[in-house]
Amino acid sequence: MLNRKEMLTSLIDYMWYKQDLITNVIGLDFNYMYFTNFDADNMLNWHDDSIRYVYQNIRNNIRSVSSHFVMSDNALCPFCMVVTRSFYRNICKYCQYGKIHGVCYKNGDYRLICNALENNVASIQNFEYVIDNFFSKKV
């Protein structure tokens, strides 16, 4: 089993990798950031049990999530998992990611990126393939 640092490094690398795909591989040109240094710093403050929970769930979910949910489904969002694990209602109210990028279902950086991906099926399929490859090799 990986230790805390290894799991956290993998999760942060995963988020940076998605940021890189959005801007470079898929070719979406945004002035918006999917993942930032602030987000990475936030993840560094997560409790050990939360890191393990998120890591295991992302690893298990990466192959089972339908391609059109790659960006918008909480099955692949570390921040949704952390908040869902701690709160049962109004989870978006407590989401640290949502406070910076906008809550998933409202306007903001995140929603704009999702909308662009949802309108480009080839990009979604490419994104899903590359993310699956990343986790297969990394984790």
Give 7-18 pLDDT, tens digit per residue.
999 899 888 887
Measured CA to CA in angstroms, residue 127 lies from 38, 48, 93, 100, 133 at distances of 24, 29, 28, 23, 10
Round the average pLDDT of the chain to a whole number and report it. 75
What value does the mean pLDDT take over residues 87-109? 77
Cβ(41)–Cβ(51) under 8 Å? no
| Total count of domains within the chain | 1
Q: In the 8-state DSSP scheme, what is residue 23?
A: I
User: Domain residues for 75?
Assistant: 4-138
> What local confidence, expressed as pLDDT, does residue 62 receive?
74
Nearest-angstrom CA–CA distance, 7 and 61 = 16
Give the residue from 52, 51, 54, 30 showing the smallest Cα distance to 110: 30
> What local confidence, expressed as pLDDT, does residue 99 receive?
84
What value does the mean pLDDT take over residues 52-56? 91
> What local confidence, expressed as pLDDT, does residue 76 receive?
78
Cβ(16)–Cβ(35) under 8 Å? yes
> What local confidence, expressed as pLDDT, does residue 86 receive?
72
pTM equals 0.77
Nearest-angstrom CA–CA distance, 64 and 46 = 25
- pLDDT greater at residue 113 or residue 131: 113
Cβ(56)–Cβ(48) under 8 Å? no
- pLDDT tens readout for residues 75-89: 778 888 888 877 666
> What local confidence, expressed as pLDDT, does residue 68 receive?
42
